[in-house]
């Protein structure tokens, strides 16, 4: 008995010593993990409850469990139990939020492999969307691996943007519908980005506190509001610059400026911010409470997202002069869309506005624009990430090729089409050149090849859109980039003709569409000067349509056109009428006289 007692006592003492020793070792390991930035428990403050729970409760067992679930998910896919696989993917993401390769694979697997096992575009879109949602879940709970942003951008550039999937037009349509609901059909990105931080609102708040010269003070110092805001945010304790406090001495007034900046910059997506902004102008809580549904903010937000606009009850409850009411309605609308974009899609409308400033007015209904956005986010994390750099360059070319949405009619939203965006060619050309110049010599090759292809398309586009001076400008650029190429020694018209004739069979649909629409636009423009040339260009467009259809009949994958000739002719006609609305009758008569015979030939 005594011996057993000694053994047990010794074992207990040894166990206690090992526990003490392990605690010291754990402190050392935790210190090392903190230095390396891989301590998950220190980075859970803004994560979802599921991630917080699994991180704290399961600790080091998370990796083991995630591996077992990953193996099980493979079996689920083989057995076509896709909804169970989707649930397993969400669990794995919660268990290992840093393991971006696995998350990206599972999201890609849903969008690519699982989606194509279904027959209809509607069924396929369900799984493409689940893949997108899984990416977004990972991004919301992730510290910032640029590979994840590149992988996500690839869904927009390749899966949605290209025509390799037969259902790609449906994907484009559904994404465009979602973005229209989120941002409105023709969004004012500057208003969305800057509406809630309008310094005029701060001026009104200070006015009510007795300081009426805030705007004049900034003007006198030649200090933009953005500069003041940046200075406050950069200071240690949110301090105002000395030259501001020199004139604004009242502590309440100073505190109001700081509070406004903190609310509109650091807390801009919090519900309390909109109540703060409207305080003293509209009792927004009372407006919501007096609606027929007696909404609180949460229910109001839910209804706003269902409708994609401000509910009429809320608008009617804001009783102000017409001009003031419009400003307040715009403010609420901007705040709600900004919050919605961030909460659901992790889109920062201020970043979107900056991208527009950098690249021109991009169409945010188009998938390729979102590829640019996510590649730019990846470059924020790692400016040298070559795949993100390449994605920006490729997607910029894509938004020129098919970045102007010709859109389904607002009444039905049943079809979608796009065209060459000739308006941003100059801007994109300059940016692509700049990107190449900023790359090391050993990484320029593929970018240079892509840029030469862009220039070839630009020459053809400008020529067929009857912008011959610009066509020559880009042809000269092309010669300078590749001076030894014999094809570029031909006169401009001889260079363009084979590009739109003999090589038509090697073009993809976007390139052929560029040529055809250019001919159609030139045809309708010629109506202004006489119909002989108009008929010539219209007939040439019709021939291109038929030629491309024949030359791609035996092509693997996508063959022929995804739009009818008459649809493309209508869009070209409407484009020209917008330029010269006073000649709309002549252009419509010309169209009516030719399209009937063309439609008849097309059916035959």
pLDDT digit string, tens, across residues 25-65 = 656 666 665 565 555 544 444 444 544 545 544 555 566 56
Which range among 18-27, 267-276, 406-415 has the greatest average pLDDT?
267-276
DSSP 29-80: HHHHHHHHT--GGGS-TTS-HHHHHHHHHHTTHHHHHHHHHHHHHHHHHHTT
Q: Tell me: do 151 and 298 sit in the same domain.
A: no
- Lowest mean pLDDT: which of 105-114, 203-212, 479-488, 512-521? 512-521
Whether residues 264 and 239 share a domain: the answer is yes
Most confident of the ranges 303-317, 433-447, 544-558, 559-573: 303-317
Q: 10 Å Cβ neighbour count for 323?
A: 8
**18 and 67 co-located in one domain:** no
Question: What letters, b where the CB count within 10 A reaches 16 and e where it falls short, cover 32-55?
Answer: eeeeeeeebeebbeebeebbbebb
- The reported pLDDT for the residue numbered 409 is 47
pLDDT score of 603 more than 70: no
Regarding predicted confidence, which is higher, 468 or 159?
A: 159
Mean pLDDT for the stretch of residues 77-96? 77
pLDDT surpasses 90 at 263: yes
130 — pLDDT class (breaks 50, 70, 90)? very high
As a whole number of angstroms, the distance between CA 212 and CA 217 comes to 10
* Rounded distance between C-alpha atoms, residue 540 and residue 343, angstroms: 50
Q: How many CB atoms lie within 10 A of CB 155?
A: 24
pLDDT at 596: 58
Other C-beta atoms lying within 10 Å of the C-beta of residue 474: 24
Instruction: Please give the helix or strand (H or E) that residue 446 lies within, else none.
Output: helix 445-464
Helices (H), 385-491: 386-402, 425-437, 445-464, 468-481
- Identify the CA nearest to 419 among candidates 396, 398, 393, 391: 398
Number of neighbouring beta carbons within 10 Å of residue 534 = 22
219, 222, 226, 228 alpha-carbon torsion, rounded to 10° = -90
CA distances from 497 to 88, 400, 450, 538, 569 (A): 56, 21, 22, 16, 21
Asked which of 189-193, 265-269, 374-378, 505-509 is least confident by mean pLDDT, the reply is 505-509
Packing angle of the helix pair 565-579, 584-603 (nearest 10 deg): 170
- Lowest average pLDDT, out of 121-130, 364-373, 502-511, goes to 502-511
Confidence of residue 230 (pLDDT cuts 50, 70, 90): very high
Residue 287 maps to a domain: yes
CA distance 116 to 166: 9
What would the mean pLDDT of 521-528 be, rounded to a whole number? 80
On whether both 112 and 250 belong to a single domain, the answer is no
Token pair 């009429």 is found at: 312
In 3-state terms, what secondary structure has residue 380? helix
- Name the helix (H) or strand (E) containing 537: helix 531-551
The confidence score (pLDDT) of residue 378 equals 94
User: Is the predicted pLDDT of residue 404 greater than 50, yes or no?
Assistant: yes
The rounded distance, in Å, linking the Cα atoms of 355 and 375 is: 11
437 CB-contact burial (10 Å; exposed 0-12 / middle 13-18 / buried 19+): exposed
CA neighbours closer than 13 Å in the CB half-sphere of residue 339: 23
Q: Are both 112 and 252 inside the same structural domain?
A: no
Domain limits at 6?
A: 2-38
Q: Are residues 199 and 334 in the same domain?
A: yes
Q: Bridge-partner residues for 418, per DSSP? A: 405
Is the model's pLDDT at 346 over the cut of 90?
yes
Residue 111, domain member (yes or no): yes
Domain presence at residue 87: yes
SS (H, E, C) 246-299: CCCCCHHHHHHHHHHHHHHHCCCCCHHHHHHHHCCCCCHHHHHHCCCCCCCHHH
Q: In terms of domains, do 232 and 289 share one?
A: yes
Residue 537 covered by a domain = yes
Within-domain flag for 261: yes
Mean pLDDT of 94-113: 81
pLDDT more than 90, % of the chain: 35
Question: 209-223, 370-384, 484-498 — which is least confidently predicted?
Answer: 484-498
Residue with tokens 């994605």: 391
User: Residue 417: which of 406, 403, 404 has the closest Cα?
Assistant: 406
Last residue of a domain, one of 322, 345, 368: 345
> Residue 418 — φ and ψ, nearest 5°?
-150, 170
Q: Count the helices and strands in the chain (H runs, E runs).
A: 30, 2
Average pLDDT in the 3-19 region? 74
Regarding whether 322 and 198 lie in a shared domain, the answer is yes
Q: Which of 285-294, 308-317, 416-425, 501-510 has the lowest mean pLDDT?
A: 501-510
183 within domain boundaries: no
In 3D space, the residue among 255, 269, 271 whose CA is nearest the CA of residue 202 turns out to be 255
Domain boundary (315, 345, 375) is at 345
Q: Is residue 419 part of a domain?
A: no
Q: Looking at the 3D structure of the chain, how many domains does it have? A: 4
Same domain, 265 and 144: no
Residue 158: is its pLDDT beyond 80?
A: yes
Integer Cα distance of 118 and 107 in angstroms: 17
Q: Can you give the pLDDT at residue 598?
A: 55
Same-domain pairing of 29 and 60:
no
- Based on the number of CB atoms within 10 Å of its own CB, is 114 exposed (0-12), middle (13-18) or buried (19 or more)? buried
132-141 CB burial, b ≥16 within 10 A, e <16: bbbbbbbbbb
Q: Taking all residues of the chain, what is their mean pLDDT, rounded to a whole number?
A: 82
> Distance of alpha carbon 315 from its chain centroid, rounded?
29
**Closest to 447 in 3D by CA, of 463, 431, 462:** 431
Does residue 170 contact residue 183 with C-beta atoms inside 8 Å? no
- The whole-angstrom separation of Cα 367 and Cα 188 is 19
Helix (H, G, I), strand (E, B) or coil at 409: coil
Are residues 89 and 11 part of one domain? no
Examine the pLDDT at 314 and tell me if it is beyond 60: yes
Query: Does pTM surpass 0.75?
Result: yes
**Is the domain of 62 the same as that of 202?**
no
Cβ atoms 376, 339 nearer than 8 A: no
Is residue 443 situated within a structural domain?
A: no
DSSP result, 229-249: HHHHHHSTT-PPPHHHHTT--
Residues in Cβ contact with 59 at an 8 Å cutoff, skipping those fewer than 6 apart? none
Predicted pLDDT at 47: 46
231 band by pLDDT with thresholds 50, 70 and 90: very high
With 90 as the cut, is the pLDDT of residue 341 above it?
Answer: yes
Q: How far apart are CA 575 and CA 584, in angstroms?
A: 11
In whole angstroms, what is the distance from residue 284 CA to residue 295 CA? Answer: 11
Say if CB 122 and CB 139 are below 8 A apart: no
Closest by CA to 582, choosing from 518, 527, 517, 533, is: 527
Range in 55-64, 97-106, 137-146 the model is least confident about: 55-64
Residues for the chain: how many in total? 604
* pLDDT category of residue 16 using cuts at 50, 70 and 90: confident
Q: Which is higher by pLDDT, 595 or 588? A: 588
């Amino acid at each position: 008995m005594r011996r057993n007692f000694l053994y047990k006592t010794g074992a207990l003492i040894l166990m206690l010593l090992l526990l003490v020793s392990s605690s010291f070792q754990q402190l050392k390991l935790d210190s090392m993990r903190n230095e390396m930035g891989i301590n998950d428990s220190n980075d859970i403050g803004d994560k979802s409850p599921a991630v917080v729970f699994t991180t704290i409760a399961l600790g080091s067992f998370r990796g083991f469990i995630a591996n077992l679930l990953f193996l099980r998910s493979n079996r689920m896919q083989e057995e076509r139990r896709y909804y169970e696989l989707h649930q397993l993917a969400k669990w794995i993401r919660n268990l290992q939020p840093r393991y971006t390769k696995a998350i990206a694979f599972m999201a890609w697997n849903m969008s690519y492999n699982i989606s194509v096992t279904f027959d209809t575009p509607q069924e396929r879109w369900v799984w493409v969307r689940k893949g997108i949602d899984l990416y977004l879940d990972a991004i919301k709970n992730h510290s910032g691996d640029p590979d994840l942003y590149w992988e996500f951008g690839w869904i927009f550039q390749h899966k949605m943007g290209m025509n390799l999937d037969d259902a790609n037009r449906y994907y484009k349509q559904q994404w465009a519908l979602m973005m229209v609901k989120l941002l409105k059909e023709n969004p004012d990105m500057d208003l969305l980005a800057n509406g809630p931080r309008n310094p005029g609102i701060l001026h009104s708040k200070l006015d009510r506190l007795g300081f009426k010269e805030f705007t004049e003070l900034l003007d006198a110092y030649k200090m933009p509001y953005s500069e003041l805001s940046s200075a406050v945010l950069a200071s240690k304790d949110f301090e105002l610059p000395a030259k501001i406090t020199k004139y604004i001495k009242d502590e309440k007034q100073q505190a109001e400026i700081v509070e406004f900046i903190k609310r509109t910059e650091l807390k801009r997506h919090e519900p309390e911010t909109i109540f703060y902004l409207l305080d003293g102008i509209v009792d927004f809580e009372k407006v919501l409470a007096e609606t027929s549904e007696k909404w609180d903010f949460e229910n109001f937000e839910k209804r706003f997202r269902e409708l994609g606009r401000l509910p009429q009850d809320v608008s009617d409850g804001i009783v102000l002069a017409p001009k003031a009411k419009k400003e307040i309605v715009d403010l609420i609308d901007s705040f709600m869309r900004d919050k919605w974009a961030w909460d659901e899609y992790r889109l920062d409308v201020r970043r979107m506005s900056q991208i527009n400033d950098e690249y021109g007015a991009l169409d945010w209904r188009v998938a390729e624009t979102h590829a640019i956005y996510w590649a730019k986010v990846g470059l924020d994390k790692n400016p040298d990430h070559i795949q993100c750099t390449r994605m920006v360059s490729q997607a910029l070319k894509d938004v020129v090729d098919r970045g102007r949405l010709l859109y389904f009619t607002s009444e039905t939203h049943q079809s979608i089409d796009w065209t060459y965006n000739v308006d941003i060619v100059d801007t994109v050309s300059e940016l692509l050149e700049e990107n190449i110049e900023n790359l090391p010599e050993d990484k320029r090759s593929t970018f240079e090849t892509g840029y030469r292809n862009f220039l070839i398309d630009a020459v053809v586009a400008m020529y067929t859109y009857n912008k011959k001076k610009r066509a020559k400008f880009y042809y000269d650029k092309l010669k300078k980039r590749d001076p030894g190429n014999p094809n570029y020694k031909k006169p401009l018209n001889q260079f363009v003709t084979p590009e739109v004739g003999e090589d038509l069979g090697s073009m993809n649909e976007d390139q052929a569409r560029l040529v055809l629409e250019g001919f159609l636009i030139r045809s309708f423009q010629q109506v202004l000067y006489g119909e002989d040339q108009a008929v010539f260009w219209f007939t040439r467009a019709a021939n291109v349509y038929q030629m491309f259809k024949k030359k791609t009949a035996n092509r693997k994958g996508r063959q022929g056109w995804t739009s009818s000739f008459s649809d493309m002719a209508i869009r070209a006609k409407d484009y020209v009428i917008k330029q010269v609305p006073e000649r709309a009758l002549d252009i419509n008569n010309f169209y009516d006289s030719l399209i009937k015979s063309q439609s008849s030939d097309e059916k035959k």
